[in-house]
Amino acid sequence: MTSSLAALEQRARELLDLVHYDYFAGGAGDEITLADNEQAFRRLALLPRVLRDTSSRSIATNLLGDPSSMPVFVSPTAFHKLAHPDGERATARGVAAAGLILIASMAGTVAIGEVTAAAQDVDREARVWFQLYLQPDPEVTAELVRRAKRAGCTALVVTVDSPVHGRRAREDRHGFHDLPANMRAENMRGLPGSTGDAVRSIAMSSDFTWDHLRRLREMTDLPLVLKGILHPEDARLAVEFGADAIVVSNHGGRQLDRTPASLDALPAIAAAVADRIPVFLDGGVRCGSDVALALALGATAVGVGRPVLWGLAVGGDKGVTDVLDTLRSEFEHTLTLCGIAELSELNTSLVITRGASQ
């Protein structure tokens, strides 16, 4: 297992081209939200219980009908071949070995069918969800949905916080706006309106509304997860729309700078949803106690992104599994020390603001 995710990131930084490291590590604007995602966890403390029998416990769970060995999933991140030659194939193998759900990015450097095949080579029961940006041409969106379904994906995760690309100073400083010549966003190859197997660019559009999501709902019977919710009213609308789950997320601090940390936004959103659908969270999760804090504040499960990329860069699929096994070990250790025997016992009574009196 990985002894320290901070040390792992430093090792990955040494191995990666600096331009590619900064692409993965960087955030929007002054990177205030990027930093705050992690700092939000440090502002809180766990209040443990004692003399409670925790000798028997399972942290396995079920997310939208799919089994998961713990309440953690792997968040969608783009362009894994920048970190490792096998790209998303290696990530899929590593996640499957850990018994978790991978959300594969639409901006993957390996096509979704190959990603699911790699996961299922490790575990026939492995589950992959597909992250989707709605495209201005509905036929392109429809074909992406069909490909995900044919590949065996069991849910669609629709990113809703990206009417335009975020402005990221590190990428601008390096002039990093295109993949190397031997890499492409393979899910965008051979789509309607393209010539032959040409690769289209992923388009963002500021005119998307809830009506566009309703059209997507009509295209597929796959569960729909809306990723990028920060406002409680949007969470209520997601429930009314019929979303199967939401992800409280600020896109890892990569879209709009100075938004709330995901963890800070979570309690109000959990209250607005009121257990009607699962509420997931990503952004800033770096250790097992972070997982416990998020679940105590109302999350059903949490996503981890950048640490998986660092594991991929350092050790390929085994590096990915090591990161996730480390997170599992830390989470179980935290639960034991908090006197928690069941995941359902994680609640707000166990969380205080650091430095506050009880």
258-317: pLDDT as tens digits: 999 999 999 999 999 999 999 999 999 999 999 999 999 999 999 999 999 999 999 999
State how far the Cα of 275 lies from the Cα of 252, in Å rounded to an integer: 24
Residues 78-99 have a mean pLDDT of 98
Residue 2: what pLDDT?
64
State how far the Cα of 324 lies from the Cα of 73, in Å rounded to an integer: 9
- The CA distances from residue 176 to 41, 64, 198, 308, in Å, are 31, 37, 21, 22
Residues 95-114 have a mean pLDDT of 98
Residues 306-331 have a mean pLDDT of 98
Residue 358: what pLDDT?
60
The rounded mean pLDDT for the chain is: 96
Direct distance between the N- and C-terminal alpha carbons of the chain, in angstroms, rounded to an integer: 36
Residue 355: what pLDDT?
76
Catalytic, 174? Answer no
Task: Map residue 245 onto helix, strand or coil.
Answer: strand
> How does strand 72-74 pair with strand 101-104?
parallel
| DSSP state letters, 26-51 | --STTSHHHHHHHHHHHTEEE----S
Residue 336: what pLDDT?
98
pLDDT digit string (tens) for 342-356? 999 999 999 999 977
pTM of the model: 0.97
Catalytic residue, from 20, 80, 84, 251: name it. Answer: 251
Residue 4: what pLDDT?
76
Contact of 260 with 249, CB cutoff 8 Å? no
What residues contact residue 185 under an 8 Å CB cut-off, 6+ apart? 78, 79, 106, 107, 108, 109, 179, 199, 202
Q: Is the pLDDT of residue 183 over 70?
A: yes
Residue 6: what pLDDT?
81
Residues 129-141 have a mean pLDDT of 97
Residue 296: what pLDDT?
98
Contact of 158 with 222, CB cutoff 8 Å? no
Residue 109: what pLDDT?
98
Residues 151-174 have a mean pLDDT of 96
Q: Is the pLDDT of residue 182 over 70?
A: yes
Give strand ranges (E) for the chain.
Answer: 44-46, 61-63, 66-68, 72-74, 101-104, 128-132, 156-159, 224-229, 245-248, 279-282, 301-304, 351-353
Q: What band does 3 get if pLDDT is binned at 50, 70 and 90?
A: low
State how far the Cα of 56 lies from the Cα of 291, in Å rounded to an integer: 20
Q: Which CATH superfamily is domain 5-38+62-334 in?
A: Aldolase class I (3.20.20.70)
Residue 304: what pLDDT?
98
pLDDT digit string (tens) for 199-232? 999 999 999 999 999 999 999 999 999 999 999 9
State how far the Cα of 105 lies from the Cα of 131, in Å rounded to an integer: 5
Q: Is the pLDDT of residue 16 over 70?
A: yes
Partnered with residue 282 across adjacent β-strands are 303
Partnered with residue 104 across adjacent β-strands are 130
> Domain residue spans in the chain?
5-38+62-334
Q: Is the pLDDT of residue 357 over 70?
A: no
Task: Map residue 303 onto helix, strand or coil.
Answer: strand
Helix ranges restricted to H, 26-159: 32-42, 88-98, 112-122, 138-151
Q: Determine the length of the chain.
A: 358
State how far the Cα of 228 lies from the Cα of 263, in Å rounded to an integer: 13
Partnered with residue 353 across adjacent β-strands are 44
